[in-house]
Chain A
Amino acid sequence: MKVRLYALIIFLLFGTIGCYATITGTVVDSETEEPIEGAVVLVEWTKTKGFGLTYTESYKVIEAITDKEGKATVSGVFNPMVNPPDITIYKKGYVAWNNKFIFPNYKKRKDFKWQSEYVFKLERFKPEYTYSEHWDFINDVIHSGIALGKKDLIKSAIEWEEDKAFEEKRKRSK
């Protein structure tokens, strides 16, 4: 009886936290639903340590690029101690997609659930958006200051936007 109870507890624990199966995502244009090739998919798992005083550190970072069909596969993590992953998808000309926040107002995203297959819909970058705000958003959601050296694909992809963002910022500060 006890063994069953413990098994159930362990099952529930692993079923709700820290168990992330491999995910295959398809990235599409939100208007045309056409697949987007060459989008960078960044997935980062973090781990919070301590009690009373805590800090969070990067646990695992995976970068992938979508193929002709807009698909990219990211292997999962099976560790009950990790936090839910942060997923960011970027393609030039589109608004970066993140599973926790939505550009431009950092509204919390509520429509994402980790599952074996998922369709990520990217919105085209609109003229009313600013590159400086978008660049800040991307750097915030990818946690550009942690796990340095492990996010080179996405950082390379946003380099052109970094130039535009700083042009805007420097104009503003004059």
Chain B
Amino acid sequence: MICPDGVPDAHDVTPRATLSRMRSLMILAQLMLESSTERQITQLAIGAARTLAACTRVHAELDEELGPGPDMTMSTRGVPDVASGPAAEGRGPRRWAYPLHSGRGHVGWLIVACDTPPDDEEHFLLRSLAQHAGVALVNLRLHEQQRAAVAEAERVNAQLHETLEALRRSMDVHARLTAVAASGQGRQGIAEAVHELTGLPVAVEDGFGNLRAWAGPDRPDPYPKDSEADRERLLRLALREGRPVREGDRWIGVSRPQQDVTGALVLFDPEGLATAHQLTALEHGLTILGMELARLRSLAESELRVRRDLVEELLAGTDEDSALRRAQALRYDLERPHRVVIVEGHDRDHDDEAFLHGVRRAARDQQVGSLLIRRGAHVVVLADHDADWERFRTAILDEVRGGRCRLGIGNRYPTIAGIPRSLHEAEVALRVQDAAAGDARATCYEALGVYQLLAEVRDPAATEAFGRTWLQPLLDYDEQRNADLVLTLSRYLDHGGNYDASAGALFIHRSTLKYRLHRIREISGYDLSEPDTRFNLQLACRAWETLNALRRDVDDTATPA
């Protein structure tokens, strides 16, 4: 051991020496208090103890946690504390233990081995040293606990800050997109808002992948479109995931607010650097897009309903001012001449809904008109333009890919007051076509000829009387025998007495026709070669068919299909 110059020997009890020893302890105590590890403190204490007392060995034993208290003795360890005096027997130096403790707890022992017992002054110095070391150790432990608590608090604070920041950003996104939804800026507004929030180009696509809105630079032209199979796969994937999925150079989220309403919001991110915040904005945008799609769908359904109601009322006859106001709300000009076209028929599958949509598409393509409804077994079109009606009929069959289609076309009227009349005419045209038999075709009321005249006769009884005057024996025969002599006579006269054409129209053999004509001559007694007789018989046949058609019309009106 070498003695520092400034630390007097423990046996020097002069005031100056005592003061110097106190200063040594003070410096060491301060150094231990400033120390950053327990090892540093104990090593300082050990180094100092060797100087302060004539000891052979010094070491420190530390408890893991703060111990039981300053009154604990070392008897349980086989080493007594200083108050108990030396206890170790046998060879070697004896040991003394000095408690390392502060007012807040006990942390261990400073154990000093000496050949000769320390005197009172050395005991005092060693006890003081141990106490300073104990205070430093306890302080360090408390400081570390405090530092750990502060670090934990800082970590929690940072986490909270991060959560709040994410919440704030989410609220900003929500507020921005809600404003878009509230302002009715539609799909373009949504695309622009998401572009603003993410800084990336944004597209809104329909369910088929067609571009509906774009925001941001570098808009592709033409806009790329997936194959039908790829599109379907992508939609299924995104819907299953319930969040945007990465596909190529983009993030795509799909919204399907209703089964048949689908839209997609696409974020173009070629580098794949989109942050969680940007994807959150995309998801919020998707929610708003879903609302927008549902709104558009609802709007379309409402408009369709209003249009249907309007057409029904126009066909039945309605207050003109009220109808015009509603038409204006639908941005439809009713103050144009209109005519009614009745479409009767079906597609190959007899799918009424598909047939209606086929008629709608054909009416749009042929520029016939846009107001149409299903009415019973027919589709009724309010035509605001004239068209080649036979071409319209063919276009319908093309749209529904086969089936059957007949048209009855009423006259054109300058105001909506004429629409019910036009409807009636279209119905008559269709019935007369029915009565006249032959292939399905487009029949205009204005082209009905004598049928039109017969249909418009105010007193059907006179027409019936005329018909019966010429046809009664044949009518009776048909009724009694369930035969078709009147129909056979009518087709024969319509075809100018041509056997082959007449037989073809009736779908019977030529010899059958000849037999029936023989029976007609026998029953009625008429000479069919006489011109006047032929004229009157043909007129009577047409009058009878017209009456039948009108009767069916009345019956149908009474009990709609």
A and B are partners in one complex rather than unrelated chains: no
